[in-house]
Amino acid sequence: MAMGILFCTTNLVFSQQNIAQNLLDVINSNQSRNFKNFISKNVDYQNNDQLFGRWEIMLKNTHKRYGRLSLLSAEITPNRALVIYCKSDQPDAYFQWVKIKMQYGDQQKFIRAKSEWVFDPEVKVPAGKVSIELLTQLTKEYVTQMASSNRFSGTVLLAREGKILYDGAFGWADKDAKKPMRKDTKLNLASTTKIFTGIAISQLVQQGKLTYDTQVGEILPYFKNKGSKSRISIHQLLTHTSGLGDFWSKFDVSPREKILSCQDYFDLVKNDALLFEPGKGKRYSNVGFIVLGLIIEKITGKDYKEYVKENIFSPAGMKNTDFYSLKNLPENIAHGYYFKWRGSRHRISNHDHKPIHGSPQGGVYSTLYDLLNFQKALNEYKILDKKYVELMTSPKVELYPGFQYGYSFQCPLVNGKRYIGHDGGSPGISAEFRMFPEDKLTLIVLSNFDMGADELAEFVTMLISR
């Protein structure tokens, strides 16, 4: 995200600290008139209304993402850029620390700007490539720092070649009952569940019951003679290029007790128009994975959840992984907590917002150790042949700029190194499952805070990818 302006004239020179504070005051005001006033005075927008508008949007988005910002430091670089480090005072900000770089032009006005989140400065990271020992130490230090500032609650595991380097548990699994998080606590995976749906489909391809080019109209009666919908392929469902959308807006206004099966979810949106012609666009689609669940049920004659338990969880040794019902939760399970209002200082339970139980698009519960067992089973080809594992985990589309996606696996490059896995997120839930083939490392982070897993996963990925 780019952003920023500040007040500067040749007649009145502020100290860099005052300039930085002035900029943050503008952002913190979140007032359109202040944005426009400062842009007109201090940005070289070249009398271009479109460029002026982009700067205004930048400022608005900065406030929207980070909330109020407090100044930590500011400095002028030799190439005449102002670099500002600041901290968000919003506990629900995606990341807490922000770097803003503002570049001066020839007219003593700013010509470009950029902001990016930075990692917690309390954890000191040396330059250069880190050893396995230092990686393990820094992972522990960072998650401990996050937990101490109430930014993380959950579990974390770092392994190399299937052997645990570090595992830990922080916070409360159930803060009302004062039940602490344990290393073997079961947490919701949200969309990380999509990996299992994709593997189930690939098992059917491996068995010759499907191909990735098979069209849904050939399998599901509803899709026959439905025009473009009937031509949606398995490939497009697995890569979010089908044109199908989402169901959450309709789920949120429906009695969740009546939305239990794959068909129940699909019925919410089955009459919705496609967002685009199949294969002609990209849009992350939960509905697409519901349809994959329906296909699994149609071909196998089994309930989706039962198929996945029998053919993936069981052979992978995932004894503590299941689509637990909200009405009958087992012991040692984590309850989710989230900030209901922006700027709120207290998280509340997500119990009233979750589905009764998981589905092909998300919601399975698992543990660190079950997911490590899954990683081993996947890499040892116990649940899928090597050919199909490699096919699933290789890039198929660029789902977002610079972010590659395979068949239900995220597989982006970070500084030339690829990780393979999937994240998951929802109010009171966040999960990160990442495998780093080149380094034979696996990172698993599960949290009962929304976005609780993201920062730690990005920190560890940054260290591995140097």
- Identify any residues that bridge with 156 across adjacent strands, giving them in sequence order: 168, 445
Q: Which residue has the tokens 């620390």?
A: 97
Classify residue 322 by its DSSP letter.
B
- Rounded to 10 degrees, what is the CA torsion of 368, 372, 377, 379? 140
Say how far residue 374 (Cα) sits from the centre of its chain.
20
DSSP 229: G
Among residues 88, 115, 153, 191, the one annotated as catalytic is: 191
Q: Of 172, 192, 191, give the one whose Cα is nearest residue 182.
A: 172
Alpha helices in 67-215 (DSSP H): 132-148, 194-206
State the Cα angle at 431 between 427 and 434, rounded to 5°. Answer: 155
Sort 106 into a burial class: Cβ within 10 Å, 0-12 / 13-18 / 19+.
exposed
The residue to which tokens 């040892």 are assigned: 380
**Residue 40 known to be catalytic:** no
Q: Find out whether 7 and 15 touch, Cβ atoms under 8 Å.
A: no
Helices (H), 318-367: none
Active centre residues (catalytic): 191
